Amino acid sequence: MALRWCVRFSRVAPRLLWDSNISLGACVPSSRTPLPGPGNTRLYSTPEWWLGCRTFGSVPPSTDVTYAQLKKLLAGGKSVIIDVREPWELREYGSIPGSINVPLGQVSTALQLDPEEFNEMYGGEMPHKIDNVVFTCLAGIRSKTALDMASELGYKDVQHYPGGWQDWAKNEHQN
């Protein structure tokens, strides 16, 4: 049945993209009125359909880590924290204790190295594809990019700290 819906949608998708009169909910039958036009008696406008829709992808739906969650992950020692800032930024501003510095431009290559090479180049244990990996940067922009790269490489449990070093430093000074 799912295959039939895929085939039906593949015939309709180009029209959905070009015809602004057809809503995105037009792919699922319901008891609603069919959309006008020849040959689309099986197309219905049902925006309720999107409420039950689930997206499929390699990135888990909740990828953000708060300061408190990051502190727990660091205390547990079961996560790999990768800071994707440039080395000069770490020298100038500081770094999260226990994090490994892998500049953003090297993340994709670094995550494909042999574990020994990774350890030699970056001074930390290379994460396995099933390990929890948390990316961080200065303010959360580069860490999100690194998260996407890792997901594309097959890492399953990847997250990022959107507050980055700025949020970490602010929270550490308060405590």
Residues 148 and 74 in one domain: yes
Residues 38 and 74 in one domain: no
Q: Clarify whether 137 is annotated catalytic.
A: yes
Number of domains in the chain: 2
Residues 112 and 135 in one domain: yes
Residues 110 and 140 in one domain: yes
Q: Is residue 10 part of a domain?
A: yes
Q: Is residue 61 part of a domain?
A: no
Running along the chain, 175 residues long, what does each successive block of 10 average in pLDDT?
50 45 43 50 43 47 87 92 96 94 96 96 94 94 95 94 94 85
Residues 155 and 94 in one domain: yes
Residues 168 and 97 in one domain: yes
Greatest CA span in the chain, whole angstroms? 67
Q: According to the model, what pLDDT value does residue 36 have?
A: 54
Domain that holds residue 24: 2-52
Strands of 31-168, DSSP E: 79-83, 100-101, 132-136, 157-160
Residues 77 and 153 in one domain: yes
Contact 34, 40 (CB under 8 A): yes
Closest by CA to 8, choosing from 41, 57, 51, 52, is 41
3 state DSSP class of 81:
strand
Q: According to the model, what pLDDT value does residue 18 have?
A: 44
Q: According to the model, what pLDDT value does residue 169 have?
A: 94
Residues 93 and 161 in one domain: yes
Pairing of strands 132-136, 157-160: parallel
Q: Which of 6, 27, 53, 137 is catalytic?
A: 137
User: Nearest-5° angle of CA 80, CA 84, CA 85?
Assistant: 135
> Is the backbone of residue 152 left (phi > 0), alpha (psi -120 to 50) or beta?
alpha
Buried b (16+ CB within 10 A) or exposed e, 69-85: ebbebbeeeebbbbbbb
The CATH number linked to 142 is 3.40.250.10
Q: Is residue 25 part of a domain?
A: yes
